[in-house]
Amino acid sequence: MSSFQAPEEEELQIENKYLKEKKIGEGTYAKVYRGTERATGRTVAIKKIKLVQTEIGSQGIELSAVREVKCLRELRHPNVIELIDIYSHKSNLKLVLEYLDSDLEMIIKDKSILFQAPDIKSWMLMTLRGLDHCHRNWILHRDMKPNNLLVGKDGQLKIADFGLARDYGDPHAKNMSPQVVTRWYRAPELFFMPSQYGYAVDIWSVGCIFAELLLRTPYLAGESDLAQLELIFKALGTPTEEDWPGFSELARDMKFQKYSRTPLQVHFKAAGSDAIDLLEKMLTYDPNKRINTREALLHSYFRKLPRPTPPDQLPKQQKIQENAIQQNSKPSIQNRGELTEHRNKRKAQEISNKSEKKIHRS
């Protein structure tokens, strides 16, 4: 029985195989170290999971850690982060994950990089392939955003952070929490607190990421939940009963300003008609009519020229995050996030000031 194993022994096992280099971040449920796999020389992230201790004693392994392991154990795909190893001992759990030093958020924000249409297509293709693999394994990611799409030195994009993910096999699943998905990427149905939602929420997020790749700035950066809805409606038109059957019932306690729909082409001038069509299908109000990963991958956008850029030829950040690694990569990502949030704050504030007047709860 492994519980009789000395803690040092388990530590030794891991140290024989991996060289632990430095702490690169600390989250709510884990400390993350960067390391190298001795045999192959590849860089890995070693995630040390903390146990939840409450006033009444141990609560076992934290839920998001359990979720992450549960999902990653089922998934194996070039566009999904790989869980290489797990070490456990008594109350000690260490995950060894692939380590990638960049992510799509950093790349979008790096204004020294120029995006060409084939580059965007390549990132979209990799994102959708990875997500399709998740969905085909009945796993909902629930937190798709550029920050969670890691990019390796070889240009491969990998979906990471399954701390919110859950499997969606149960036909009687209820009580799904709507408080998922970072607000800017959150599908409209989630704002109306339904306890049941599905794969379509991930697609909406990918639609927002697509738009962000085209615009180089977050597409719908709402300051509050209400402001977010207002932003969505302003951008895509307030949904009618025809756009989204059941909408008036969902929103019966709220009144929204009626915005008419502006064609997406107006806002996304540089995008081709196939790109616009795919974007439109991802940002469809009715979750039942929203395109799924399968259909999206077969969309003419991916079949027509120009071909997507091969991953290793995608534009990269010049100085690969030396400082970011030195000063803890996770916090630096958060700082970047805050910066944009500041930038968008003013804009969002204005909008939400206006929206306060228009949205009345009856």
Partner 1 sequence: MAANFWTSTHGTNWLLSRQALADCRKIDRQYVNEQDLIKVNIWFAQIITDLGRRLQVRQVIIATAITYFKRFYTKNSFRNTEPNLVAATCMYLACKIEESPQHIKAIITDMKTIMQERGENFTYENQKVAEMEFYLLEELDFNMIVYHPYRSLMTLAQDLGTKNEDVQWAWYVINDSYRTDMCLLYPPHVVAAAALYLRIALRGGAQYGDYSLTSTTSTANDNSVAGVTTRGAKRGAAAAASNNNTNTTANETPKVKDIRLWFAQLNVDLEHISDIVQEIISLYKLWGEEDKQNEKIREILTRLLK
- List the binding residues: 24-32, 47-48
Answer yes or no: are the C-beta atoms of 202 and 142 closer than 8 Å: yes
Measured distance CA(239)–CA(190) in Å, rounded: 15
Measured distance CA(80)–CA(88) in Å, rounded: 23
Answer yes or no: are the C-beta atoms of 221 and 340 closer than 8 Å: yes
Measured distance CA(196)–CA(180) in Å, rounded: 12
68 or 223, CB closer to partner 1? 68
91 or 328, CB closer to partner 1? 91
59 or 300, CB closer to partner 1? 59
For the beta carbon of residue 202, count every other beta carbon within 10 angstroms.
28
253: β partners: none
Compute the C-alpha angle 163/145/123, nearest 5°. 120
List binding-site positions for ATP.
24-32, 47-48
Written as six digits, the tokens of 253 are 């306690």
In the complex, the residues that contact partner 1 under the rule CB under 8 A are: 1-3, 51, 56-61, 63, 66, 69-71, 73-74, 86, 88-93, 136-138, 166-167, 169-173, 175-176
Answer yes or no: are the C-beta atoms of 211 and 268 closer than 8 Å: yes
Q: Where are the beta strands (DSSP E) in 191-318?
A: 254-255
For the beta carbon of residue 257, count every other beta carbon within 10 angstroms.
13
For the beta carbon of residue 60, count every other beta carbon within 10 angstroms.
10
- Is residue 119 among the annotated active site residues? no
71 or 351, CB closer to partner 1? 71
Written as six digits, the tokens of 166 are 């859950």
11 or 167, CB closer to partner 1? 167
For the four alpha carbons of 317, 318, 320 and 322, in that order, the dihedral sign comes to negative
Measured distance CA(225)–CA(192) in Å, rounded: 10
Q: Produce one character per residue of 323-350: b if its CB has 16 or more CB atoms within 10 Å, e if not.
A: ebeeebbeebbeebbeebeeebeeebee
Please pick, among 132, 143, 161, 202, the residue that the annotation labels catalytic.
Answer: 143
51 or 251, CB closer to partner 1? 51
Q: Which residues are catalytic?
A: 143
